[in-house]
Amino acid sequence: MYQGLCSWKEQVFYISNEESVMLNVLVVSEQNFGKNLIASSYLKDLGGDHFNVECAGFEAGPLRPVVNIVMKLDGYDLANCGCPHSVSDLLAMGRRYDIVITICPKRLDEKCPDFPGQLLRLNWRHSDPDKIAESRIDRLQQTRIMRDSIKADVIKFINDYEKGELPMLKKDFG
């Protein structure tokens, strides 16, 4: 299935389209109550034919109500969603992910561990609406903008995968 002889950071892995390969993806954000849930919801829904998706955070916390509101506006109810584990928990359990997507500042991305067998790591930087907006209306608007931006990143990620254009992870159409 995967071919190559050097470390994952230097390797190009080829995935044949003749077999149905489901890649394991972990979506990580600073806390377990927003950006990672948005991204994992879209990735499960729009890329479910290609990816098994889980999410985690560096810190646990309840889902922010404003995140659930903006996701409901796009047809997703996150009220019963959650990320029961932290990144550290998943690593300690020996979980394996082909792709890790961090949605956090670079300083936190650098703290996220590499998982055994990991082929690709992506960092999508999105600001936290609670840190830039004062009023509830502004937070709602900024969260909607963040949601749309994360959705665009997910769609681009899926399209890049389907075209075989992800760095270090290529589909073999031969």
Q: What pLDDT does residue 130 have? A: 65
Selected residue with higher pLDDT from 35 and 106: 35
**Least confident among 26-30, 40-44, 88-92, 164-168:** 164-168
Question: Which pLDDT belongs to residue 12?
Answer: 39
Dihedral angle of Cα 159, 161, 163, 169, to the nearest 10 degrees: 150
1 vs 147, residue with greater confidence: 147
8 neighbors 119 (Cβ within 8 angstroms) = yes
Higher local confidence (pLDDT), 23 or 10: 23
The pLDDT, as a whole number, for residue 26 is 93
Residue 25 has pLDDT above 90, yes or no: yes
Contact 92, 162 (CB under 8 A): no
pLDDT, one tens digit per residue, over 97-127 is 999 999 887 777 788 888 888 899 999 988 7
Is the CATH code 3.10.129.10 the one for domain 20-156? Answer: no
The pLDDT of residue 169 is above 90: no
pLDDT of residue 33: 66
Per residue in 82-99, pLDDT (tens digit) is 666 788 889 899 999 999
Query: For residues 56 and 173, which has the higher predicted lDDT (pLDDT)?
Result: 56
Give the whole-number percent of the chain exceeding pLDDT 90.
34
Tell me the pTM. Answer: 0.82
Query: DSSP assignment, residue 21?
Result: P
